[in-house]
Amino acid sequence: MSSAGAGAEDGGFRGFLSGLRAGFHLRSDGRPHVENDGVIRIGEDCRLSSYPVRSHLVVMRDASLTVGNHVVIAYGAAISARRAIRIGDGTRIGPFCLILDNDFHSVGDKHAPGGTAPIEIGRNVTLGARVTVLRGTRIGDGARVVSGSTVAGVIPNGAVVSGVPARVRGNDALRNVGRSVAAVVKRVFKLTTLPGPAEGPAQIAGWTDVGVMRMLLALEETFGTTLPVEELQAARCIEDVTGIVTRARA
């Protein structure tokens, strides 16, 4: 485990170790603020960042926070559990996200307890920067929440949502990205027609290791983002590349 355990007795780690069940390779960049009066379960190979801004984990009495394997929580995040919060394997939580399964106090009376309802965040979910997830939310596997959105209710598997409150984006947004990716591929490999979503190295002769690097540079210039080289090298079709670009932009 990382430096999180080393500071368990100072004010920033109250009750952390007493209710912590963590897998191997829990990495902590900086020193998170942890208040744990319940149970925190953290899976294998997770990362919790508190640099340059400290993240906060607050788990109240009889509550639980369960984090799956290979989860990344970026700096400035705040997670507060009064009942239960579950985060699935492979999920990525962006900077300054808020995940709150409680309202702290009722509307109109700050001295009265607010409502609580468990939060379920599925596997391979991406939360952009400054996303707020409210009590009772269920986010399906593979869903993506665009930066600055506020989420409440049920988000279907694989959906892309945005806004306050967050709403499912139409398929047009994803189709537009796919068409732009196809146009880049056509230009890079000097094709005569726009390639379809299922076309890849088997159909496009120039789609070699060298061609992938040319495609990478062209895509990064077109979309203004950095793409993971390993994922692009493993892509087998235009649809795969579209997914890589979409995740990078989110």
Q: Under a CB-based contact definition with an 8 Å cutoff, are residues 227 and 245 in contact? A: yes
pLDDT number for residue 23: 56
Question: Using CA of residue 31, residue 44, residue 67, residue 37, what is the dihedral sign?
Answer: negative
Any idea where the domains of the chain sit in the sequence? 5-168, 171-249
Three-state DSSP at 86 gives strand
Average confidence (pLDDT) over 62-85: 95
Confidence of residue 85 (pLDDT cuts 50, 70, 90): very high
How many Cβ atoms are within 10 Å of 250's Cβ, its own excluded? Answer: 18
Q: Exposed e or buried b for every residue in 12-43, given b needs 16+ CB within 10 A?
A: bbebbeebbebbeebebbebbbbbbebbbebb
Distance of CA 104 to the CA centre of its chain: 25
Q: Kindly compute the dihedral angle of the four CA atoms of residues 69, 29, 132, 19, in this order, to the nearest 10 degrees.
A: 60
pLDDT at 21: 59
pLDDT at 5 over 80: no
Tokens of 229: 């080289």
Q: Per the CATH hierarchy, to which homologous superfamily does domain 171-249 belong?
A: ACP-like (1.10.1200.10)
pLDDT at 160: 84
**Which pLDDT score, from 0 to 100, does residue 174 have?**
59
Residue pair 244/227 in contact (Cβ under 8 Å)? The answer is yes
- Give the CA count within 13 Å in the CB-facing half-sphere of 197: 10
- Asked if the 5-168 domain carries CATH number 1.10.1200.10, the reply is no
Interacting residues of 193 by C-beta distance below 8 A, sequence separation 6+: 186
**Looking at residues 64-88, what average pLDDT do you find?**
95
Tokens of 17: 């170790």
Which amino acid belongs to residue 191? L
Count Cβ neighbours within 10 Å for each residue of 101-125 and write b for 16 or more, e otherwise.
bbeeeeeeeeeeeeebbbbbbbbbb
Q: By mean pLDDT, which of 17-31, 84-98, 110-124 is the weakest?
A: 17-31
Mean of the per-residue pLDDT values of the chain? 83
